[in-house]
Structure 1
Amino acid sequence: MKYIKDKEWLLNCLNESHVRIVDCRFSLTEPEKGKSEYLQSHLPGAVFFDLETDLSSPVQSHGGRHPMPMLTEFIAKLENAGIDENKLVIAYDYGDGAYAARFWWMLQYLGHENVYVLDGGFKGWVEEEYPVSEEIPVFEKTEFHFRIQPELMATTEEVKEVVEKQLSNKILIDSREKKRYLGIEEPIDKKAGHIPGAINKPWMEGLSGNYYKSVADQKQRFVNVEPNKEIIVYCGSGVTAAPNYLALREAGFEKVKLYVGSFSDWISYAENNIE
């Protein structure tokens, strides 16, 4: 796979000075859990990035539940972790895929071309009894020369245009589970349903257990998506859409964007319709 590395590959790279490992473990129901468990045990040399304090900015009126962080602050955190555009970076979470994929997408957005997700995550790593550590690594501060890739992010205005003009050359993919897409159940956001015209491709169907499905399987998942169309993926807050974004790229789709604000941003505008 192009953006996914297996644990055996990483095991052989643990002592390489050009490799940086990023622990992205997080729990929406227990926000402190990821950091707490990182302090107890993590992959050797791994630094920690928290979804809410590092990969998001505080919630405001618009922007969704996990808005993009201030890029100057995020880049400063990368530099303090010894991460620049020349390092090989690999991110992991528990194995659920969403949080590591969010970090992966953010580095892609900054123009980093050598960033990956660890297949199987922390769970797969410890199941093999591979080494873990309690030591908190300290790296020499570096300088990250970024190149924003605006074509990777969809704005609210762009999504509105797709909906209002019913553009045939663009497709919206809702990454949430079917019950939330249909508006049958909504445990998190204030309104239920989906952005008008969106099709449903639940993100969890791209994984089997804690591992990403093969490229062939990903292509089959998206067999009804025309490759020449521009794809905009979203979820509730731009987190679980990230593994769908990753799966689409693995399947060979090139024109893919992430709507970071996602459904929680969409419904923050009273005038926006819901299907």
Structure 2
Amino acid sequence: MRLIAKNLTFFLLVVMLAIVIAACNPSEYEETTPQIISAASLTDLISNNDNLVIVDMQSPEEYAAEHVNGAVNIIKDDIVINVPVENMLTSKSKFERLMGEKGIDNDSTIIIYDNDKMSAARLWWSLLVYGNENARVIDGGLEAIKRAGIELTGEVPEIQKTTYTADEKNKAFLSDISDVMDQINEPNPNVVLLDVRTDEEFSESGKVPSSVMYDYNNIFYSDNTFKDVQATRINFIDNGMRPEKEIILYCRTSMRASAVFLSLYNAGYRNIKIYDGAYLEWSSNPNNPIELPAGASALPSKKDAS
């Protein structure tokens, strides 16, 4: 009995020590300048930055009706190409030309807002992939700007065209179908395939095998602002995604994935990538495996722009 008691005591001490060690070795996050900024801060930025460019990502019709005074209009279709599938990252040359035409140069401070919770993040991610870290996204988009009482107008500003030079694509933030296939064929426990579509979409059309489902709407509060850094970290750690792991994000066409990428980057995650072809590319090849809910049969997914 004494031997058993001693062994049990030793076992409990080992368990307690393991808990203490884990508590003393929390995940490490990259310290970063906030990439998501409040609408209220826009007024000061406008007043104190001579090389500020505000980008409105509404449709041309919505932009014509109302936008922040001085904002230039860039739409989602300007920053993507549809080859081999919808909403792929546009080429370096087209991206450079677009930025120059909109009066953005390499020294510009770029502030982006939208009204769909994804387009601003997509432009921000595109800038990051092409080497520009001087862009920020307005939290809550146009509605938050309205709540902050910032002046809106229908007048279109005169744009002074510039020259913009992009870096080559930074593959640290970008994955392709071969990376996903590698994870399927030789699973790495330190890699997470993260599907940010809805459970309904999973039920309708399946997912990449072994993917973790995490609806992109979970990154927002009810007023469509991003959840704060602490809440974001807790939510993703609770779902097994610590910053030490590599996280490959996708949705249907990687638009929603861009918003989740922004949320994670803002929270100090750096080992994150977007699978740009996304589920549309994956599911278009009948030879690629698809995981379905138990007892379900695949149906065509509802088509949207994300």
- Alignment partner, residue 243 of structure 1: 259
- Alignment partner, residue 70 of structure 1: 91
Match of 1:116 among 136, 142, 146: 136
TM-score (norm 2): 0.79
- Alignment partner, residue 63 of structure 2: 38
More helix per residue = 2
Q: Distance in 2 between matches of 1:210 and 1:45?
A: 24
Q: Distance in 1 between matches of 2:69 and 2:133?
A: 23
**How many residue pairs get matched?**
254
Q: Distance in 1 between matches of 2:149 and 2:67?
A: 12
- Alignment partner, residue 30 of structure 1: none
Match of 2:52 among 9, 19, 33: 19
Q: How far does residue 74 in structure 1 lie from its aligned partner after superposition?
A: 2.0
Q: How far does residue 268 in structure 1 lie from its aligned partner after superposition?
A: 1.8
SS at match of 2:46: coil
Q: How far does residue 102 in structure 1 lie from its aligned partner after superposition?
A: 0.4
Q: Distance in 1 between matches of 2:88 and 2:167?
A: 20
SS at match of 2:276: coil
- Alignment partner, residue 141 of structure 1: 161
1:119 and 1:211 in contact (8 A); partners too: yes
SS at match of 1:135: coil
- Alignment partner, residue 31 of structure 1: none
Match of 1:8 among 30, 40, 43: 40
Larger radius of gyration: 2
State whether structure 2 residue 241 is matched by structure 1 residue 220.
no
Q: Distance in 2 between matches of 1:226 and 1:97?
A: 24
Letter of the 2:106 partner, please give it: E
Letter of the 1:169 partner, please give it: N
Q: Distance in 2 between matches of 1:143 and 1:87?
A: 11
Q: Distance in 1 between matches of 2:124 and 2:148?
A: 24
1:6 and 1:118 in contact (8 A); partners too: yes
> Structure 2, unaligned stretches of length 5 or more?
1-32, 292-306
SS at match of 1:13: helix
1:43 and 1:131 in contact (8 A); partners too: yes
Match of 2:285 among 247, 253, 269: 269
2:96 and 2:165 in contact (8 A); partners too: no
State whether structure 2 residue 117 is matched by structure 1 residue 97.
yes
State whether structure 2 residue 246 is matched by structure 1 residue 230.
yes
The range that moved more, 243-252 or 105-114, is: 243-252
Once superposed, which parts of structure 1, at least 4 consecutive aligned residues long, lie more than 4 Å away? none
Aligned-pair Cα RMSD in Å: 1.5
Q: How far does residue 14 in structure 1 lie from its aligned partner after superposition?
A: 2.2
- Alignment partner, residue 47 of structure 1: 72
TM-score (norm 1): 0.88
Q: How far does residue 169 in structure 1 lie from its aligned partner after superposition?
A: 2.5
2:249 and 2:272 in contact (8 A); partners too: yes
Match of 2:214 among 201, 204, 228: 201
> Structure 1, unaligned stretches of length 5 or more?
26-33, 186-191
Q: What is the aligned-residue identity percentage?
A: 27
